[in-house]
Structure 1
Amino acid sequence: CEELGLPFALHPGAEGALRSSTPVGRPSNYFEWHTGIPLTYQSHLISMVTEGAFEQFPGLKFVLVEAGFGWLAHTMWRLDKNFKALRSLTPWLKKAPSEYILNQVRITTQPMEEPETPEQLLQMLQMIHADRTVCFASDFPHWDFDDPRRVFPKAMSAELKRRIFYDNAAELYHLPTLEETQVRMAAKG
């Protein structure tokens, strides 16, 4: 992926086995599996960071698709805290784990986190630097899809919405800018 400039994306069900095992065994139903998807992604991300994948492949972009993003902030904090105390166990890491994540990992919104207030959602997005790490995903037509017209609070800045809805993905996948796309569409009439 790195040589070709392509991101490596992980989607639920591609973790190695459908309804992959958890610390307490295989989920017995869809509800349990669907709720626990972030746990699998968290394990993959921790492994990729601590085993040095991002250090070895500095141009690699890793996309975590459809596991939400509410878990990412505390994962970065915990990795950084443990890195300070246990750095000798991973001498190949040249930077704090959160730096690798912020530079090389992208995460999608779906399923959208729904805290009690819009302010809490905005705080969550700020904590994970959503202006550079988060890409919108609707998961339409599935039962839990996120409607792009209603997914973000009105108090969210137009700039952050644009980053999440378009710019972050355009940069990740080497797509034209929004302005370039608008010019092309206008030229087609």
Structure 2
Amino acid sequence: MEYTLVSGDNHIDLTYCPQELWSAQAPSQWKDLVPHVKELDDGMHWFVEGKDMGMWNGVGPGFSKYTPGALGHIDEMKELGFEWDNSPHAEPRPTTPRLRIEDLDRDGLDAEIVYGCLRVNDLIPDGERRAWAYRTYNDWVASFAKEADPNRVFPLACIPNNNPQEAAAEVRRCAKMGLKGGDLPVMRMSVPLWHGEWDHVWQASAECQFPIAFHSTGFRGLREPNDADMEKEYATQWRLVRSALFQLDGMEVLVSLISSGACEKFPEFRFVLGESGVTWIPYVLDRLDTEYHDRARDLGFSMKPSDYWYRNGYTTYQQDKFMEPIIPLVGEDNILWGADYPHPDCIWPTSRETLDKNLGGISENVRQKITRDNVVKLYNLA
């Protein structure tokens, strides 16, 4: 298929998943713990670990009921026909094959890389049950992509993070199923990302040409409100702090991966910082090079840490108005654009117009790399 515009970062959130995806297949002792749906007075609700998480087919990824005026772009999507219907027989647009393709067409996208179920890692504390939930999703999403359009919809597998050897096995299994890459959550990892146990995953990734992504889920270690009263009084300020710093958790992933020696040991391994932005990367690379030379040369790397980024690393972004002069420092071959559909801060269905504004000053060759060539090459879509 001939591609002109490909999003390197779209989504399927748990809220949009089929109501019985997990509950129909769960062992009996897990039925009330895995994600499942119940009908309440105001519509269908997701329950996980016995807790009401909010709406099925809600405003993802947070299970929210659509509330006019709460989120500006969500109101705009609503006016354009995007529905968040919580009734039992509704058709969620992101997980109804024909509707998802309609939305791709409306946004002018030829294809998409699809991240899935980011919240599962937060909501299921038990590692074994979480890994099962991921495998179940991976089986379903592989079938979903085939039904929607296997030449346009490319889901990433959700890779378990409770056991590196199990994670490597899932990489190989999903690669055999035809999935093009995987997303590995950093929070709740059994051992830190820089630990050598994860070499099992990096090796499997390299052997299968199966890039591993690390989608942003929010900057950790923020000073939280002292109590519920403070959180209520300062809700807007607290939300702004979290959202403004959200993508910067990619710093930890970038430094941890390179420090681990993953790129030194497995030159064919490729990693992606999902929805992590661009313009912060040069500073972190410079800092990493400086600190390696000063206090970590006993790791015995054959290249500067920053050189591994240019060979092995990628980042995705949706909007970054300071990006143009930074592209040479980050690497025109290392940047993937993404529309972030269907999140509240996505740019659907105006991706092409937004790109014209943000990338209007760069050469057509570099623009094509960022919006098409890099993602097609990385995930072997052609």
Task: Provide the rounded CA distance (Å) in 2 between the counterparts of 1:174 and 1:68.
Answer: 23
Mapped to 2, the partners of 1:99 and 1:85 lie a distance apart of 17
| 1:142 and 2:349 aligned | no
| Secondary structure at 2:290 match in 1 | helix
Match of 2:320 among 113, 120, 141: 113
Higher strand residue share? 2
Aligned residues of 1:54 and 1:104 also touching (Cα < 8 A): yes
Q: Residue 94 of structure 1 aligns to which amino acid in structure 2?
A: S
Task: Compute the displacement of 1:39 (Å).
Answer: 3.0
Distance 1:11 1:149 in 2: 25
Alpha-carbon distance change, 88 to 12 in structure 1, aligned in 2, over 3 angstroms: closer
Rounded Cα–Cα distance in structure 1 between residues aligned with 2:359 and 2:253: 30
Structure 2 gap segments, 5+ residues each: 1-204, 226-230, 232-237
Which AA in structure 2 matches 1:144?
D
Amino acid at match of 1:2: A
**Other structure's SS at 1:149 match:** helix
Q: Which residue of 2 aligns with 1:167?
A: 373
Name the CA distance, whole Å, in 1 between partners of 2:334 and 2:341.
Answer: 21
Measure, in 2, the Cα distance between the counterparts of 1:60 and 1:90: 19
SS in 1 for 2:257: helix
Q: CA offsets, 1:153-186, max 9 Å, x none?
A: 322111011101110001100121xxxxxxxxxx
Paired residue secondary structure (2:247): helix
Q: Is the 8 A contact 2:314 2:334 kept in 1?
A: yes
Task: Give the aligned CA root-mean-square deviation in angstroms.
Answer: 2.0
- Does the 8 Å contact 1:51/1:90 carry over to 2? no
User: Mind listing any 5+ residue stretches in structure 1 that lack a counterpart?
Assistant: 14-18, 116-120, 177-189
Deviations 1:8-60 (A, max 9, x none): 011123xxxxx5631x4458744322222333210111111112121122211
State which of 17, 37, 45 in structure 1 corresponds to 2:254: 45
Counterpart CA distance in 1 for 2:325 and 2:252 is 24
SS of corresponding position for 2:207: coil
Greater Rg over alpha carbons, structure = 2
Q: Distance in 2 between matches of 1:2 and 1:33?
A: 34
What is the number of equivalent residue pairs in this alignment?
162
Instruction: Give the CA deviation at 1:98.
Output: 0.8
Correspondence list, 1:52-91, <5 A: 52-91=261-300
Matched, 1:7 2:215: no
Taking structure 1 as the reference length, the TM-score comes to 0.76
State the secondary structure of the residue aligned to 1:150.
helix
Percent of counterpart pairs with the same letter?
23
The alpha-carbon distance between structure 1 residues 155 and 88, as it changes in their structure 2 partners (threshold 3 A), is closer
CA distance in 1, matches of 2:302, 2:259: 11
1:154 aligned counterpart, secondary structure: coil
In 1, the alpha carbon distance for the partners of 2:297 and 2:306 equals 17
Question: Is contact 1:20–1:26 with CA below 8 Å preserved after alignment?
Answer: no
Secondary structure at 1:108 match in 2:
strand
Query: TM-score with structure 2 length normalisation?
Result: 0.40
